[in-house]
Structures are given as C-alpha cells and as structure tokens.
Structure 1
Amino acid sequence: MQLLNELERWLTETLPEVAADLNPGADAQTLEALQAMLPGAPLPPAFLSLYRWHDGQKMEVNSGPWYGLSFLPLDQVMQELKSWREVAESFSPLEWAEMNSGMSSTPQGYIKCEYSNPRWVPFACDWGGNYLGIDLDPDALGAPGQVINFGRDEARKIAVAPDLDAFLAWMLTELKAGNVNIREEEDGGRSFNTLRPEKYHFLDSLAVMFPAK
C-alpha cells in the first residue's frame, strides 16, 4: 500500500480533482465476482491491493490517475471482459487467425501475439477501446500479472512492468522526475500526460518509451 499511498499524496497535491474522483475501496464480494470470471487465473495480491485502495473512479472528471487514463471500477472491468469475450466469439477461426497475425510483443516472447485474450484484465482505459491492464496468460518469457497495453488500436503489446508494484514504482519515479504535462483544456478540465515524450495519450507515450527491439 505504500506505493499507492504515495500516488494518492501526489494526486492530492497536484491533481486534487482526480484524487477527489476516486471511489472508496472495493468490497470482498465484488473482487470475488471478478475472480469467478477468471477460473484458474488467480488475481495477484498487488491487483487486489489496488482495488481495496480505490474501486476506480466516479468518472466525474475527464482525466484519470494513470497519466490521464481513467481508473476503471470493478463493475466496468467485468463489463469490459464480457464485451471482449463476445468480440472474440463473433469471429470465425480463420478471421481470428488473421487478426492475430498483425500482433507483436515487446519484448518478444513476453505477451501472446493475440488481438485479445480473456485473461487480460484492464484497470485503466481511454474510453476508445484501449487499455492498460494485467496479463494473467503471459507468453513463455512473461510473468503472470505483468502490466501490458492492449485493445482496439494496440497491435504492439508492451510488457511495461513485471507486476503492478513495479509499474507503480516506475510511474512514481517518472512523476518525481518531473515527467508531467498538465494542460488546461477548452472544456475547463485539465489533462494529464507525459512531458517526455510530449504526447497526448499515455499509450502513445509508452510506444516511444518502450521501443520495439
């Protein structure tokens, strides 16, 4: 919880509107309902801690704590899992193979080269079909619970960190180093992105920060 509390302090001091938008922590029943959707793939302790800390956002502001990506509450996490499973089932085996053929992993061998996977569990989203989440079905060199990008526009999947704690530590290091771009937007809200690289979507920033090898 130390890393999560550090992030909350940073948000309270720097983006108080985002800190105020966080929900109370999730209850055990809701976490159990999510686990029931993932038989044989136990949710990592760091993921459980994340949602005991806060069950996502109220979505009353346009920015989120993950460099602007929204923090999904568990009911929405479960809805996204259900929706993506329905998408996968709508394709024929040949169509699915064609979809998978355009996918890649950075580093190679860490993430299965698939368009989607029922054990990719999102915790952050851009509301355009793209996510940051944990991978409970890694490829041969990956680690269960590794943090990855995936979604409609994310053909190159990136293993950003081996687990959520490592991701939080990485992000806090970036924030403390001043890698922050907060902008006043025309709607009166504030956006939150990386300064290095200066992109306007965190998943685009990750593509630069973790180049293909």
Structure 2
Amino acid sequence: MTISIYLNEILTLLKDKLPQLEASLQGPASEADIARVESMLGIQLPQELRELYLLHNGEDRMGPGLFFGLRFLSLEELAAEWQVWADLEEEYGEEDNHYSVPLGWIKERYINRGWLPISEDGGGNHLGIDMAPAEQGIAGQVINFGRDEETKYVIAHQLSDMLRFIRDTVKEGGFKVNDEEEWVYWMYGEEGAGHFLDAVRSLALPLYHAHLREIPEAGQMEQWEQALDDGWRALIAQKAASLDAFLKAKQLYLIREGLSDAAPLGQCKELRELVLSGNELVDISPLSGCVQLKKLYLNGNPVADIKPLAGLAHLQQLFLAKTNVTELSPLLDLPSLKELGLENTRVIDYAPLVQVKSLRSLSLSDLNAEQLRSLSQLKQLRELELDGADEEALAGISALGELSGLKSLHLKNMALADLRFLSGYRKLEKLKLEQVAAKDISALAELPELKSLELNGSDDIGNLAIVANSASLKKFTGSFAQFDLLKERFKQQVDFSSMIGHMTDEENERWHSFIR
C-alpha cells in the first residue's frame, strides 16, 4: 500500500496550492481493465504500477501533471502510446546515439517494447516503467524515453521511490505552480526548473539509491588540474560549466581544436561519445581511461597505434578515416565493436576483421583485389560502404556475392558491367549507388526485400526500367530523368519525394504535381 500512502500525502500537501491535481485524477481502473491491457502488450504490469491504476486510471487531458507537470496516462492511453512506439521499433529501434546512465542498466536503443509510457509531455517524451532492462537493471525501474531523450536515466529503482521523491519535494517547497489563463500546471524546482526530464540530469540518481561516480581522489584531481596547460583550460571552459562538469560529461565534441595532447581526457570516466576529428593526435594512450566509451571519432588524426583502445569493452563505433593506422589486430580485443570506418587509411590487411564477430557495419575505400577477397569473408556484416576499387578488384567484384547477409550497401565511384553479384542478397533492403556507372542493373528487380534505391550522380545506368518490376521497392531517389522514366511503371505506390540534381522550372512543376 506504499503507493496509496505516498499519493495521498502528495494530494494532501497540494490541497491548497494545486487542488486541480486531485480533481483531475480519474476513477480507479478495474482488474479486468489491467488484464486487457496486459494481454494487448504481452507484458504483466509490476505490482506498484497496478496499485496506482487501481487507485486512479490516469489523469484528465488538461490535468496539471502528476509527475511534476508530466500528465499521468490512463491505461488506454498507455496502450495507445506503446503501440505507436511498437509500430516504429523494427525500422527505428536500434538508432544510434542512445546512452544509459548508469551504464548497463537500460538497453541503449531508441525504442524498446519493454518500456511502458506512464506519462507524457505532449511532445513525444515520457516518464516510463522499464520492463526489459539491460543486464544490471531492475525490471520496474523508472526511466525517461521518447523523441528527444537520447540519454536515458534510471530515475528511480521503482515507482514508489518516484512518488516518495515527489512527496518529499512538495514538503520542502521545491516546486512552482503556473496558473495560465486556461491551464494550471506545476514544475519541479522553486523557480520552476522547466521540463522535469531536463531537470533529472542534475539530480542524484537513482533517487534514494544514488551511485557514487568513479572520480579521482582529491590528490589526483589536484594533480590533474595543475597539469592542464592554458590551451586545455580555455577549451574546458568553452565546453563545460566547470572542471567537474567536464569530468562528468557523457559527450564531448572536440573537432579541429589543434589538439596534440589527449592526456586530460584520461580522467573522463563517464564519456560515452568522443569526437576528436581533425586534430593532431599521435598518442591516444590516455583514452584507455575512458572506460565507458561507446562511440569514438579519430578521423583526420595522424595516429597510427590503436592498441590503447584494446581494453574498451563498451566501444561499439570507431571511426578511423584519414589516419595512419595500418594494423587492425587490436580490434580483436573490442568485444562490442559493431561499426568501423576505415576510409583512406594505410591498412593493407583486412583479414583480422574476420575474427571481430560483433562487427556489423564497415566503411572502406580504394580496395585492391586481395583486400576485396578478405572483405568477402566478413559474413557477419549487415551494412557496407565501399568507395572505389582498382581495376583488378572490380574485375573480381563477384566475390562480394558472398556477403549475402547485407541489409544496406553503398557503392561509390565505380564502373560496373552489371549488378548480378547482388542476386543472392535476399535480405538487402537499401542500396545507394553514388557516382556509379553500371551497364545493367536489372538484377535489382529480383531482390525480395529491396525497399530503397538511391542513384546519386549515377546517370549512366542501363536497364533501369526493369527495376519497376520490383514488388518490394517503396522509395526511389534519383535524377529527374530517372524519376520520369519510372514514375508510372510500378504496380505499388513508390515514394519519389526526394530528388537529386538540377531541374528546370517545367520539370520541377511536373515533379511536384506528381508527388502531391
């Protein structure tokens, strides 16, 4: 009954300052209502959430928001919002740039069917209950997720902790009521800190169970600060509100800053994304201290030795374009590596990548025949971008037919006789040809899963009309002439809303008229 105790205390404490909250809460849901939603979701609600819904089935649409302005959703609204996200999960669920705080508690995805939206902000963001946590998480933990929520926090271990925090905050007067002409709502913080999902970033989380950060001891911290040169001091002042905020940063973008010394980054233990493109770094050994790194950009640095990265167990994305890297064997010690960029490097031997079983996405350039043969052995790949190959490699391009598990392929700067090597790509969903000439692309019509075809600067394409026989294609992007050739040929509706290249006024009018 902890839920009812905390809720009653909240309503009693707010009786004078925010009576609209109690008035907006709807009557109780029934056990049958809960069972119906559980059946729809395929998820059993945790006991505390059941208790809350047995007290009140959500909040009126113009309610002030039980969760510091975030409106409490009814069971029906929870199910409807959940379904919206579930319908998008297959296409968008694994989008990048999503992080868990603490690390390993929330699955680092954009969408997860195990997240139950119990509140809304009106902009596609939610306070939710996580019923499918990551390895270290707790089923039933309270998290943030939604359209704008890249970093997801374990706000509370359980719903009762969230309600307890609301009660304690009200007791301390740490809130503000906003009385607008047609709507009354409240906000966290005495001055109104704004959106509660923004405010959580500065709270000690999880509520009442805050985890201590791994930060240097006082002596180490002082030594670190004293070692900073004037350039680094100025850069830190530009990128963070304080030295402590710099050390706590989850993302740092240090692009073309003239950096030749990475030493100060070694104490950034909580970094998840680090962009160091276009600097002068040769020695990256300090980055071994960035133990939580998920994404690292080293593009355009003269670094050659990547052995210091070998201990980064959480590193999933590594970009090394235009570096002096030659040896890939250190990547064997990156158990989570999923995406790798190696364009314009000095790597000769790609064979070590065969043993990187987690690798799913790879970008390469200027392949020779031997490198192409090594590439054809990477059966674990799902996405490939290949920019250029020498004549001998192009003559043996059929070797790429071995990569039948690919879902996305991007070819650049090539002249090909045909695309028959793709005939076994039964899972290919997206193909982009950029500055590619091909005498015959009729093989594409037989690919059962091909949904998107883009021809960017690829005007010299033979047998393009046969692509209209594809029953799976949903989106085509190309020149006006290519659009004009294909627009009436498909049996299914195809999205032609993207166009590449110049159009005359007449062509622009004809294109707009067709896509309206």
Correspondence list, 1:145-184, <5 A? 145-184=140-179
Question: Residue in 2 aligned with 1:12?
Answer: 15
Q: Root-mean-square deviation (CA), in Å?
A: 1.8
- Deviation for aligned residue 1:199: 2.3
Q: Distance in 2 between matches of 1:122 and 1:13?
A: 29
Q: TM-score, normalization: structure 1?
A: 0.89
Counterparts of 1:96 and 1:30 in 2: how far apart (Å)? 28
Select the residue among 136, 144, 147 that pairs with 1:141. 136
CA, structure 1 residues 60+29, in 2 after alignment: closer, same or farther (shift >3 Å)? same
For residue 59 of structure 1, give the secondary structure of its aligned residue in structure 2: coil
Q: Matched residue of 1:13: which SS?
A: coil
C-alpha contact 2:62 2:183 (8 A) present in aligned 1:
no
Aligned to 1:69: 70
Letter in 2 for 1:153: D
Give the secondary-structure state (helix, strand or coil) at the position aligned to 1:117. coil
Rounded Cα–Cα distance in structure 2 between residues aligned with 1:53 and 1:96: 33
Deviation at 1:188, TM superposition (A): 4.0
CA contact (8 A) 2:175 2:191 kept: no
Question: When the two structures are superposed, what TM-score results if normalisation uses the length of structure 2?
Answer: 0.38
Aligned to 1:109: 104
Q: Give the ranges of 4+ consecutive aligned residues of structure 1 lying more than 3 Å apart after TM superposition.
A: 210-213
* Alignment partner of 1:206 out of 179, 200, 205: 200
Q: Which of 182, 194, 213 is 2:188 aligned to?
A: 194
1:104–1:12 distance in 2 versus 1, CA, 3 Å: same
- Aligned counterpart, 1:29: 32
- Tell me how far apart the structure 2 counterparts of residues 209 and 157 of structure 1 sit (CA, whole Å): 13
Partner of 1:46: 48
For the residue of structure 1 that corresponds to 2:16, the secondary structure is: helix
Q: Match for residue 453 of structure 2?
A: none
Q: How far has the Cα of 1:74 moved from its partner? A: 0.7
Aligned length: 204
Q: CA deviation at 1:87?
A: 1.4
Structure with max Cα Rg: 2
User: What 5-or-longer segments of structure 1 have no aligned partner?
Assistant: none
* Deviation, structure 1 residue 181: 1.2
Residues 79/179 of structure 1: CA separation in 2 closer, same or farther (3 Å cut): same
Conservation of the 8 A alpha-carbon contact between 2:41 and 2:79: no
Once the two structures are TM-superposed, the CA of residue 162 in structure 1 deviates from its matched residue by 0.5
Give deviations 1:89-125, integer Å, cap 9, x for gaps: 3x1xxx644x1x2000111111110101111001111
Q: Structure 1 residues 205, 196: CA separation in 2 closer, same or farther (over 3 Å shift)?
A: farther
Query: Residue type of the partner of 2:61?
Result: M
Q: Distance in 1 between matches of 2:17 and 2:79?
A: 30
Q: What is the DSSP-based 3-state SS (H/G/I as helix, E as strand, rest coil) of the residue aligned with 1:80?
A: helix
Name the structure, 1 or 2, with higher relative contact order (CA <8 Å, separation 6+). Answer: 1
* Greater percentage in helix: 1
Secondary structure of 1:37's aligned partner: helix
Matches of 2:62 and 2:107 in 1, distance apart? 35
Confirm or deny: 8 A CA contact 1:77 1:123 kept in the other structure: yes
For the 8 Å contact 1:110–1:159, the answer to whether it is kept is yes
Please give the alpha-carbon distance, in whole angstroms, between the structure 2 residues aligned to 1:96 and 1:35.
22
SS in 1 for 2:57: coil
Report % sequence identity. Answer: 32
CA distance in 2, matches of 1:13, 1:47: 27
- Assess if the C-alpha contact under 8 Å between 1:197 and 1:205 holds in 2: no
Deviation readout 1:98-156 (Å, 9 max, x if unpaired): x1x20001111111101011110011110110000100001111100000000000000
The superposition leaves residues 1-26 of structure 1 with CA deviations (integer Å, 9 ceiling, x where unpaired) of 21122122233332111210110010
Q: Is the 8 A contact 2:175 2:192 kept in 1?
A: no
Unaligned runs of 5+ in 2: 205-247, 251-269, 271-516
